[in-house]
């Protein structure tokens, strides 16, 4: 391999290419994505998915989808389905059928029996508090459990009786017999099985003891003959535990390699914290468009291609870092600029009457759907005497260099005519209720021979066929870039209670009626939006995806 090519590879690819060159694994590449089905996938999982699936594909390999379902207390089938949907939506296919750690419960139990038989595991009757106390601290060695000296025969008997349900929850655990003085706290006789008399989402009530994650994870990789076990950096201290089990059991040595996890400004990736946001009604659910979950980003309108491009641009690193959210939003804009259909929606409408346009007349105008895509076609707009523009696009006493609508000035309507403002009506509070204008008949877009050169162009909707709609505008979910940075403060103290603003009186062009959930649009001069799943024949609902340009400050002010 040339030095130039080697430098262009990330460190995981270099490892794989070295393995292939040496003939390791007989040229085979098999990775896996092993989520726990105890929550929805988030932006950090998106990176792990991309790394595992795309790396394997690059080298002609495959990727297993394995659910590490070892804790029946927190796991649900609904999470299994959501995870599968997210992976498919991102555009990846796993190797064969999805597999589960629970598929291997029998083998894992057998592995535990092997360890006991070798004197490498023992049943401990200590309470959780006693076990924690005996663990010591990073600077103080742990103490051996008084049950560590139990005979192999007694341990085998007790472990089988644990399996048979003779003992209550929490009364006994099986621990690996490693080293209570190890500098790695995880190596101090870790618990490998505990009693949990709870219904499992797949195995039902077949088992009342369940393997701990650290025991099941590495062995499951080995059972599946995973060649490259790729995971985030938070598991680096767990690697010696996995390696110890594999070595002592003499099973296939699946090697773990860690990469830096995805940390993004204003997003959190702790399932526990995300679940709290859901359970305490700070958000409407796991798929709330403000959530950093893949389902939330999908509902907000983030394209799968943009998320994958973001993960690619963020790169594969060995050290933890935080990615600016502006990079993610830039990837979203870049993708949607090329793919989103254009439309016009007025968020805060004020009526405009064209006094010199015939009262009973309308005409059909044509508007391109996407100037970036010559194959996107066009749509029709109905133009007539009355229409709506944005309230903020009018100013009665405008300052110099104000290029929108103001009395005595000219402004163009997108895809339509040039208007000249002549006056307004106001209510008793001084609020403008109607704007009066004239139009130049010879200024039609594409056919303009008026010679007038207005400096501003406004979006609009015709009053005759526009429809009311609801628009959800989003801000950051938190008021600071890292709501978990201060250990002395609850992350919820930084919750942004202004992160959702609902506009109920918006008016949309008629072409948007009936658009299917997930349809993506650029609302001209407003930003990118998508049709929400709660839309109905009575009212269309749109979620703001991202603005036309970066507009958020580094810190959101309450």
Check pLDDT > 70 for residue 92: yes
Considering 32, 255, 271, 404, which one is annotated as catalytic?
Answer: 271
- Three-state DSSP at 55 gives helix
Same domain, 450 and 478: no
d(CA 330, CA 256): 33
The CATH number that applies at residue 414 is: 2.40.240.10
- When pLDDT is averaged across residues 456-462 and rounded to a whole number, the result is 97
Q: Which of 437, 459, 481 is the last residue of a domain?
A: 459
Same domain, 279 and 169: no
Look up 36 and say whether it is catalytic: yes
CB atoms < 10 A from the CB of 197, how many? 13
**Which token pair is 518?**
């997930």
d(CA 109, CA 141): 30
Read off the pLDDT band of 549 (50, 70, 90): confident
Check pLDDT > 60 for residue 552: no
Q: Is residue 313 part of a domain?
A: yes
Distance between alpha carbon 336 and the CA centroid of its chain, in Å? 17
Look up 320 and say whether it is catalytic: no
- Which residue matches tokens 């192999």? 152
Instruction: Identify the burial level of 499 via C-beta atoms within 10 angstroms of its C-beta, where 0-12 means exposed, 13-18 middle and 19 or more buried.
Output: buried
What pTM does this model have?
Answer: 0.92
d(CA 347, CA 448): 28
Tens-digit pLDDT profile for residues 354-396: 999 999 999 999 999 999 999 999 999 999 999 999 999 999 9
Q: Is residue 28 part of a domain?
A: yes
What per-residue confidence (pLDDT) applies to 7? 60
Read off the pLDDT band of 526 (50, 70, 90): very high
Tens-digit pLDDT profile for residues 324-356: 999 999 999 999 999 999 999 999 999 999 999
Read off the pLDDT band of 3 (50, 70, 90): low
Same domain, 519 and 453: no
Contact 398/434 with Cβ under 8 angstroms? no
State how many domains the chain has. 3
Q: What is the 3-state secondary structure (H, E, C) of 115-154?
A: HHHCCCEEEECCCHHHHHHHCCECCECCCCCCCCCCCHHH
Look up 261 and say whether it is catalytic: yes
Q: Is residue 555 part of a domain?
A: no
Check pLDDT > 80 for residue 258: yes
Considering 32, 36, 175, 188, which one is annotated as catalytic?
Answer: 36
CB atoms < 10 A from the CB of 44, how many? 20
Check pLDDT > 60 for residue 556: no
Same domain, 135 and 252: yes
Read off the pLDDT band of 548 (50, 70, 90): very high
User: For all residues of the chain together, what is the average pLDDT?
Assistant: 95
**Which token pair is 444?**
């039609």
Same domain, 353 and 486: no
d(CA 506, CA 115): 67
Considering 66, 261, 298, 470, which one is annotated as catalytic?
Answer: 261
**Which token pair is 280?**
């305490």
With a pLDDT cut of 90, the percent of the chain lying above it is 95
- When pLDDT is averaged across residues 25-30 and rounded to a whole number, the result is 94
Q: Is residue 450 part of a domain?
A: yes
Tens-digit pLDDT profile for residues 202-232: 999 999 999 999 999 999 999 999 999 999 9
CB atoms < 10 A from the CB of 401, how many? 6
Beta-carbon contacts of residue 84 (< 8 Å; ≥ 6 apart): 65, 98
Same domain, 122 and 191: yes
Contact 167/195 with Cβ under 8 angstroms? yes
Contact 56/43 with Cβ under 8 angstroms? no
Contact 421/415 with Cβ under 8 angstroms? no
What per-residue confidence (pLDDT) applies to 555? 47
Same domain, 257 and 317: no
The CATH number that applies at residue 195 is: 3.40.50.620
Beta-carbon contacts of residue 212 (< 8 Å; ≥ 6 apart): 70, 190, 191, 192, 193, 194
Same domain, 67 and 197: yes
Read off the pLDDT band of 557 (50, 70, 90): very low
Same domain, 34 and 144: yes
| Residue 181 belongs to domain spanning | 3-261
Same domain, 305 and 439: no
Q: Is residue 224 part of a domain?
A: yes
Same domain, 176 and 48: yes
Q: Is residue 525 part of a domain?
A: yes
Check pLDDT > 70 for residue 57: yes
* β-pair partners for 421: 437
Q: Which of 408, 433, 459 is the last residue of a domain?
A: 459
With a pLDDT cut of 70, the percent of the chain lying above it is 97
What per-residue confidence (pLDDT) applies to 137? 96
Same domain, 252 and 174: yes
Q: Which of 459, 487, 515 is the last residue of a domain?
A: 459
- For 234, 408, 424, the CA distances from 405, given in Å and listed in that order, are 56, 9, 11
Read off the pLDDT band of 140 (50, 70, 90): very high
Q: Is residue 551 part of a domain?
A: no
d(CA 242, CA 232): 15
Q: Is residue 208 part of a domain?
A: yes
Contact 32/229 with Cβ under 8 angstroms? yes
């Amino acid at each position: 391999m040339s030095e130039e090519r080697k430098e262009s590879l990330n460190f995981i690819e270099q490892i794989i290419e070295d393995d292939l060159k040496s003939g390791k694994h007989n040229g085979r590449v098999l990775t896996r994505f092993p989520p726990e089905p105890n929550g929805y996938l988030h932006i950090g999982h998106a990176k792990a998915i991309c790394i595992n699936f795309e790396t394997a594909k690059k080298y002609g390999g495959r990727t297993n989808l394995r659910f590490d379902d070892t804790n029946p207390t927190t796991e649900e089938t609904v999470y299994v389905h959501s995870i599968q949907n997210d992976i498919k939506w991102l555009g990846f296919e796993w190797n064969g059928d999805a597999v589960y750690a629970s598929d291997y419960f029998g083998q894992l139990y057998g592995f535990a029996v092997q360890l006991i038989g070798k004197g490498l595991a023992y049943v401990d009757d200590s309470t959780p508090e006693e076990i924690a106390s005996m663990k010591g601290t990073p600077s103080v060695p742990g103490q051996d459990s008084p049950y560590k000296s139990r005979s192999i025969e007694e341990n085998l008997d007790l472990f089988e009786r644990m399996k048979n349900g003779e003992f209550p929850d929490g009364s006994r655990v099986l621990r690996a017999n490693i080293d209570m003085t190890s500098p790695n706290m995880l190596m101090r006789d870790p618990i490998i099985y505990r009693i949990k008399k709870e219904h499992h989402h797949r195995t039902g009530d077949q088992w009342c003891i369940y393997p701990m994650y650290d025991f099941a994870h590495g062995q499951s990789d080995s059972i599946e003959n995973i060649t490259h076990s790729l995971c985030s950096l938070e598991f680096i201290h767990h690697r010696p535990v996995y390696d110890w089990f594999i070595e002592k059991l003499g099973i296939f040595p699946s090697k773990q390699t860690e990469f830096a996890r995805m940390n993004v400004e204003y997003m959190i990736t702790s399932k526990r914290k995300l679940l709290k946001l859901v359970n305490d009604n700070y958000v409407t659910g796991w798929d709330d468009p403000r959530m950093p979950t893949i389902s939330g980003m999908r509902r907000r309108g983030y394209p799968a291609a943009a998320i994958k491009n973001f993960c690619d641009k963020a790169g594969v690193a060995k050290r933890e870092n935080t990615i600016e959210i502006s990079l993610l939003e830039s990837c979203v804009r870049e993708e949607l600029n090329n793919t989103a259909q254009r439309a016009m929606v007025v968020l805060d409408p004020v009526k405009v009457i064209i006094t010199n346009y015939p009262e009973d007349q309308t005409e059909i105008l044509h508007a391109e759907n996407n100037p970036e895509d010559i194959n996107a076609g066009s749509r029709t707009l109905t133009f007539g005497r009355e229409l709506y523009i944005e309230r903020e696009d009018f100013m009665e006493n405008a300052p110099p260099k104000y290029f929108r609508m103001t009395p005595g000035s000219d402004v163009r309507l997108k895809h339509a005519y040039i208007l000249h403002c002549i006056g307004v009506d106001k209510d008793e509070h001084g609020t403008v209720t109607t704007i009066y204008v004239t139009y130049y008949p010879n200024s039609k877009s594409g056919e303009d021979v008026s010679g007038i050169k207005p400096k501003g162009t406004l979006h609009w909707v015709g009053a005759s066929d526009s429809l009311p709609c609801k628009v959800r505008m989003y801000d950051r979910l938190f008021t600071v870039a890292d709501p978990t940075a201060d250990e002395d403060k609850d992350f919820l103290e930084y919750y942004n209670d202004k992160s959702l603003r609902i506009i109920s009186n918006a008016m949309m062009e008629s072409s948007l009626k009936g658009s299917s959930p997930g349809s993506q649009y650029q609302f001209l001069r407003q930003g990118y939006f998508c049709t929400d799943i709660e839309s109905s024949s009575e009212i269309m609902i749109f979620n703001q995806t991202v603005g036309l340009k970066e507009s958020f400050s580094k810190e959101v002010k309450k």
